[in-house]
């Protein structure tokens, strides 16, 4: 779960179906090689520049251009407009990047077109700004290297006329005009007008049902498109890495190489992430042969499941639905805002937020 606070503009199917049922009896290594060479969605296919900047502002790629690219929060430096544990002394997460406006009308209102970051389809449009910290916002769905990735554009002044859910859009196609809409008490000033841009993984397509049961009586105006069901990755690092590597960039490789915060075991073999993010599963032939009892999962500091390994019952020590296997203390110290794990009497355990995330992930 993401417990974004004020600045947040508001978490398949037989699990190992692809790994167990459909797999030939030949060696898994050979199978992996075969998949790599022949699959229509090979995990390691290198795709050219999957993401584009969502506005004409390109200062991100200029030396010392950060001030001209990111908008900080009131009275803070540009770093507070980047992704991560960048607010409230590191204890508040900002799950996107805030991109500065380049052009204004005679009243000082932003007029920058906002463009689709990649080819995709429209997943959600909110044009009732009073219902979200995001104000007016759009979510697009993309398929990149076998991963279902979502991009989100918030605080929009207006959404392009006629844009509809399910409609296909091309990378670079204008979808909206930048603005400063939000339902927060203090609002966003005209001066700080920006697009809040996220790249997300979708935690669970049964979110709305889970939310209703877990938080009875609480409002959920956006169904599955609640920010808590979208797990952000860092657009700045991804855009810079793409810029550096060109068509050698791979999103799957990027995710696999992220620093892990902790490692957990979940006693579930059938949850949507396994299908939606199958390229992040690391094969374990021994467990698949013996019978998969659950998954070992590496989480990054924002709770994104970056690696999943099937495990057999004999490979797991301990009982319980969720077991904390390890904690990267240096990473927890550096990026603590999600409070996924907590230290009690000298030992680490899953905190309420960590448990909620795993409940939603495996729901
Ligand atoms: Zn923002």
List all residues 6 or more positions away from 251 whose beta carbon is below 8 Å from its beta carbon: 47, 50, 144, 145, 147, 149, 238
Residues 311 and 204 in one domain: no
Q: Classify residue 263: in a domain, yes or no.
A: yes
251-256: list long-range contacts, CB under 8 Å, 24+ apart: 251/47, 251/50, 251/144, 251/145, 251/147, 251/149, 252/43, 252/44, 252/145, 252/146, 252/147, 252/279, 252/280, 253/44, 255/147, 255/280, 255/304, 255/306, 256/280, 256/306, 256/307
What's the pLDDT score for residue 13?
27
DSSP string, 6-38: TTS------TTTTTTTT--SS-HHHHHHHHHHH
Q: Classify residue 40: in a domain, yes or no.
A: no
Rounded to the nearest whole angstrom, what is the distance from the C-alpha of residue 194 to the centroid of ligand 1? 8
Residues 198 and 80 in one domain: yes
pLDDT tens digits, residue range 126-147? 999 999 999 999 999 999 999 9
Q: What's the structural domain count of the chain? A: 2
List all residues 6 or more positions away from 277 whose beta carbon is below 8 Å from its beta carbon: 147, 148, 201, 305, 308
Residues 232 and 293 in one domain: no
Rounded to the nearest whole angstrom, what is the distance from the C-alpha of residue 73 to the centroid of ligand 1? 9
Residues 263 and 353 in one domain: yes
Rounded to the nearest whole angstrom, what is the distance from the C-alpha of residue 86 to the centroid of ligand 1? 11
What pTM value is reported for the model?
0.86
Distance CA 87, CA 73 (A): 9
Rounded to the nearest whole angstrom, what is the distance from the C-alpha of residue 32 to the centroid of ligand 1? 39
What's the pLDDT score for residue 88?
87
> What's 63's domain CATH number?
2.70.70.10
Find the length of the chain.
Answer: 363
Rounded to the nearest whole angstrom, what is the distance from the C-alpha of residue 104 to the centroid of ligand 1? 19
- Comparing CA positions, the residue from 85, 91, 96, 135 lying closest to residue 300 is 85
Rounded to the nearest whole angstrom, what is the distance from the C-alpha of residue 94 to the centroid of ligand 1? 6
Residues 244 and 263 in one domain: no
Distances (CA, A) of 348 to 50, 91, 156, 157, 334: 38, 19, 41, 45, 16
Rounded to the nearest whole angstrom, what is the distance from the C-alpha of residue 155 to the centroid of ligand 1? 9
Residues 227 and 269 in one domain: no
Supply the range of the domain harboring residue 323: 258-361
Q: Classify residue 204: in a domain, yes or no.
A: yes
Residues 263 and 174 in one domain: no
Rounded to the nearest whole angstrom, what is the distance from the C-alpha of residue 70 to the centroid of ligand 1? 10
Rounded to the nearest whole angstrom, what is the distance from the C-alpha of residue 8 to the centroid of ligand 1? 6
Rounded to the nearest whole angstrom, what is the distance from the C-alpha of residue 311 to the centroid of ligand 1? 38
Rounded to the nearest whole angstrom, what is the distance from the C-alpha of residue 7 to the centroid of ligand 1? 6
Q: Treating both helix axes as pointing N-terminal to C-terminal, what angle do 207-214 and 352-361 enclose, rounded to 10 degrees?
A: 140
160-164: list long-range contacts, CB under 8 Å, 24+ apart: 163/122, 163/125, 163/138, 164/122, 164/125
Through-space distance between the first and last CA atoms of the chain, rounded to whole angstroms: 12
Cα-flanking dihedrals φ and ψ of residue 152, to 5°? -130, 135
Rounded to the nearest whole angstrom, what is the distance from the C-alpha of residue 257 to the centroid of ligand 1? 25
Q: Classify residue 207: in a domain, yes or no.
A: yes
Asked if 107 and 259 count as a contact pair (C-beta separation under 8 A), the reply is no
Q: Classify residue 209: in a domain, yes or no.
A: yes
Q: Classify residue 101: in a domain, yes or no.
A: yes
Residues 200 and 95 in one domain: yes
Residues 240 and 110 in one domain: yes
Local mean pLDDT, 10-residue blocks, the chain (363 residues): 39 29 36 44 52 98 97 94 92 96 97 98 97 96 97 98 98 98 94 97 97 94 94 98 94 97 97 98 96 98 98 92 97 96 95 97 98
Rounded to the nearest whole angstrom, what is the distance from the C-alpha of residue 35 to the centroid of ligand 1? 39
Residues 223 and 314 in one domain: no
Residues 237 and 265 in one domain: no
Rounded to the nearest whole angstrom, what is the distance from the C-alpha of residue 285 to the centroid of ligand 1? 43
Which of 221, 248, 275 terminates a domain? The answer is 248
Rounded to the nearest whole angstrom, what is the distance from the C-alpha of residue 82 to the centroid of ligand 1? 8
What is the three-class DSSP state of 301? coil
Q: Cβ-count burial of 262 within 10 angstroms (0-12 exposed, 13-18 middle, 19+ buried)?
A: buried
Which of 228, 248, 268 terminates a domain? The answer is 248
Rounded to the nearest whole angstrom, what is the distance from the C-alpha of residue 98 to the centroid of ligand 1? 5
pLDDT tens digits, residue range 93-111? 999 999 999 999 999 999 9
Distance CA 36, CA 145 (A): 11
What's the pLDDT score for residue 213?
96
Q: Classify residue 4: in a domain, yes or no.
A: no
Rounded to the nearest whole angstrom, what is the distance from the C-alpha of residue 124 to the centroid of ligand 1? 18
Q: Classify residue 138: in a domain, yes or no.
A: yes
Task: Name 347's bridge partners.
Answer: 344
Residues 220 and 126 in one domain: yes
Rounded to the nearest whole angstrom, what is the distance from the C-alpha of residue 87 to the centroid of ligand 1? 11
What's the pLDDT score for residue 50?
84
Which of 189, 218, 248 terminates a domain? The answer is 248
Rounded to the nearest whole angstrom, what is the distance from the C-alpha of residue 190 to the centroid of ligand 1? 14
Rounded to the nearest whole angstrom, what is the distance from the C-alpha of residue 2 to the centroid of ligand 1? 14
Chain center to CA of 140 = 13
Distance CA 20, CA 284 (A): 10
Rounded to the nearest whole angstrom, what is the distance from the C-alpha of residue 52 to the centroid of ligand 1? 18
């Amino acid at each position: 779960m993401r417990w974004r606070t004020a600045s947040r503009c508001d978490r398949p199917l037989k699990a190992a179906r692809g790994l167990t049922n459909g797999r030939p009896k030949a060696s898994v290594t050979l199978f992996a090689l075969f998949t790599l060479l022949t699959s229509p969605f090979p995990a390691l296919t290198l795709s050219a520049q999957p993401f584009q900047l969502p506005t004409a502002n390109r200062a991100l790629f200029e030396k010392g251009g950060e001030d001209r690219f990111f908008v900080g929060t009131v009275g803070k430096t540009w770093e507070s407009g980047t992704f991560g544990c960048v607010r409230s002394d590191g204890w508040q997460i900002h799950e996107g990047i805030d991109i500065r406006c380049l052009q204004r009308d005679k009243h000082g209102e932003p007029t920058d077109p906002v463009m689709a970051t990649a080819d995709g389809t429209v997943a959600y449009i909110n044009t009732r700004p009073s219902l979200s910290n995001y104000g007016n916002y759009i979510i697009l769905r993309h398929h990149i290297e076998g991963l279902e990735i979502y991009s989100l554009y918030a605080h929009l002044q207006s959404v392009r006329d006629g844009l509809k859910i399910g409609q296909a859009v091309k990378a670079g196609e204008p979808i909206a005009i930048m603005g400063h809409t939000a339902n927060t008490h203090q609002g966003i000033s005209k001066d700080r007008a920006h697009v809040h841009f996220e790249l997300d993984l979708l935690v669970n397509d049964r979110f709305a049902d889970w939310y209703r049961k877990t938080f009875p009586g609480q409002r959920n105006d956006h169904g599955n498109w609640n920010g808590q069901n979208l797990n952000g990755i860092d657009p700045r690092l991804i855009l810079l890495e793409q810029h550096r590597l060109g068509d050698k960039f791979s999103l799957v490789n990027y995710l696999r190489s992220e620093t892990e915060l902790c490692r957990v075991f979940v006693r579930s073999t059938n949850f949507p992430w396994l299908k939606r993010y199958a390229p992040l599963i690391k094969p374990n032939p021994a467990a698949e042969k013996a019978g998969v009892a659950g998954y070992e999962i590496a989480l990054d500091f924002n709770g994104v499941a970056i690696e999943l390994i099937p495990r057999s019952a004999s490979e797991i020590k301990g009982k319980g639905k969720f077991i904390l296997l390890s904690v990267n203390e240096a990473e927890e110290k550096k990026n603590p805002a999600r409070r996924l794990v907590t230290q009690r009497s000298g030992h680490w355990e899953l905190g309420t937020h960590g448990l909620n995330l795993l409940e939603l992930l495996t729901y």
